[in-house]
Amino acid sequence: MTEDLKLIPGTRPLKVAIVSSPRASFPSNEGSLSTGLFETAKGLRAKGAEVTIFCQRQGPRKKEEYVEGVRIVRFSRQFDRKVLGLPNKLRNLFLTHKVPHDHAWYFHLLYILRIAHRIRREGFDLIHLVQHPEFAPWLRLLNPHSKIVWSVHAVLYTYLLEGHMESWGRSVDGIVTVSRFVAETLQKQFPSLAPKCQVRYNAVDTEVFKPLPEKDVEEVRARFSIKGEKVVLFAGKLTPEKGLHVLIHAMKRVIRQYPHVKLLIAGKFVILPPNPRAYLFPQTGEAERLKKNYPGFLKELAEDIQEHVTFAGFIPHQELASLYNLADLFVHPVLCEDAFPNAVLEAMACEVPVIASRTGGIPESVVEGQTGLLINPGDEGMLAEAMMRLLQDEGLRRKMGKEGRRRVAQRFNLERSTEVLFNLYQSILRPACPIKAEGGEDKAVEIR
């Protein structure tokens, strides 16, 4: 059992300010980033820290409140959205490298300055910045004595904001990444940041995502008219980068051999700005074609097997466990370098075998042949073969499912994730403390 989070043992609790992505809301039933961040805040609170999440204010929500012991302070970003987006639109008329306005260094400027000033006024010891490295200099400028940790959840920034990353990185004291893949990408592209990098894997609540009794799944089964068919599940944002069109093509092959199979697609359609898509999606030309009407494209593609495909739409995060329990296998056919998808962990925690692309940080969670199968991104033939292999072998599905849950419970649980973050905070606040890295052993901040 570790000591409580305090600046110095025997003194007051550590004051932690979590600066979230401006697009995130708390509490939220949407998206793994928001739900995971809130669980992190609760974990730090349980260890004795005073935690405040700074985020956007939407609709009638209060400017400030406590939720499950976590203080949430909300700021409007209307001025930034309406006014500061205009200069970037004008700038992009003359530039070939078009940075979306919400990633320009000056966008959200009023929003982050107000947060930075509030943090300074209240005297926080440590600032945990989520995503958005462009906020770091402003937080450092107004809080020169606070320690700053930057959480990196995707490699998009390393491409999109390449010219600024090292200068912004100098403003932070530590960098925590969601996978070894992200850490190594940062270290390779920006060597000066390497000594600051530490891996802290995403985690899921294994008390929420777990095998459920059949009676708890019956309502979902009836809702989607599942009557004994095998179920293949996808859950996530519906964008070209996620490879749903590849999955539908593969399903057509599967149905020829196994006609009693249904594909359940849960999630809402979201289109990334064109420039990030060009970096994240290898088949750029196809992505540009698909972006114009991806929902229509998918539905047209599935028209000849429509009785086998259900578009479930958005499912609140707290209802996903029932959906996973409905599935015989979970497919994540992503085409981009996915950093470390939570959906894969959630499925594994529910004892569902996973088929996923061998890209990004996915091989760090899915063990080939043990917890699931890995395929080459975009290879519909390989995907179809993997699906048929698991659909025809109930024993293998059950074995992989149980091994998947065991792996999540041991390596990707909330308690371990909080402990890793605790150790990182300790090493920054008290440099003499060793860091206990992912993997268990004490070692330097660099990932070897």
**Would you state the torsion angle of the CA atoms of residues 265, 268, 273, 278, taken in this order, to the nearest 10 degrees?**
-10
| β-strand partners of 94 | none
The sheet with strand 354-357 has its strands ordered as 309-313, 261-266, 230-235, 329-332, 354-357, 372-375
Backbone angles phi, psi at 273, to 5 degrees: -60, 155
Q: Answer yes or no: is pLDDT of 278 > 80.
A: no
% of residues, the chain, pLDDT over 70 = 80
pLDDT digits (tens, 9 = 90+) for 397-435: 999 999 999 999 999 999 999 999 988 998 998 864 544
pLDDT digits (tens, 9 = 90+) for 260-276: 999 999 998 775 554 44
15-29, 231-245, 374-388 — which is least confidently predicted? Answer: 15-29
| H or E element at residue 346 | helix 342-349
pTM attached to this predicted model: 0.88
Pick the most confident of 120-124, 220-224, 292-296: 120-124
**What domains lie within the chain, and their CATH numbers?**
15-203+413-443 (3.40.50.2000), 214-411 (3.40.50.2000)
Task: Please compute the mean of the pLDDT values over residues 18-39 and round it to a whole number.
Answer: 79
pLDDT at residue 440 in the model? 42
Mean pLDDT of the chain: 85
In eight-state DSSP terms, residue 6 is B
Query: Among 154, 147, 148, which Cα is nearest to 183's?
Result: 154
CA distance 424 to 217: 40
Amino acid at 7: L
CA distance 268 to 237: 6
User: What tokens were used for 96?
Assistant: 């070939």
Helices 380-391, 244-257: inter-axial angle, 10-degree rounding: 50
pLDDT at residue 276 in the model? 47
pLDDT digits (tens, 9 = 90+) for 364-373: 999 999 999 9
Q: Answer yes or no: is pLDDT of 339 > 80.
A: yes
Confidence of residue 336 (pLDDT cuts 50, 70, 90): confident
pLDDT digits (tens, 9 = 90+) for 192-250: 999 999 999 999 999 999 999 988 899 999 999 998 899 999 999 888 889 999 999 99
23-27, 287-291, 386-390 — which is least confidently predicted? Answer: 287-291
pLDDT at residue 209 in the model? 96
6-15, 200-209, 280-289, 318-327 — which is least confidently predicted? Answer: 280-289
| β-strand partners of 126 | 16, 147
pLDDT at residue 22 in the model? 81
Q: Which residues contact 306 (CB under 8 A, 6 or more apart)?
A: none
pLDDT at residue 272 in the model? 54
Task: Please compute the mean of the pLDDT values over residues 50-61 and round it to a whole number.
Answer: 87
CA distance 134 to 157: 10
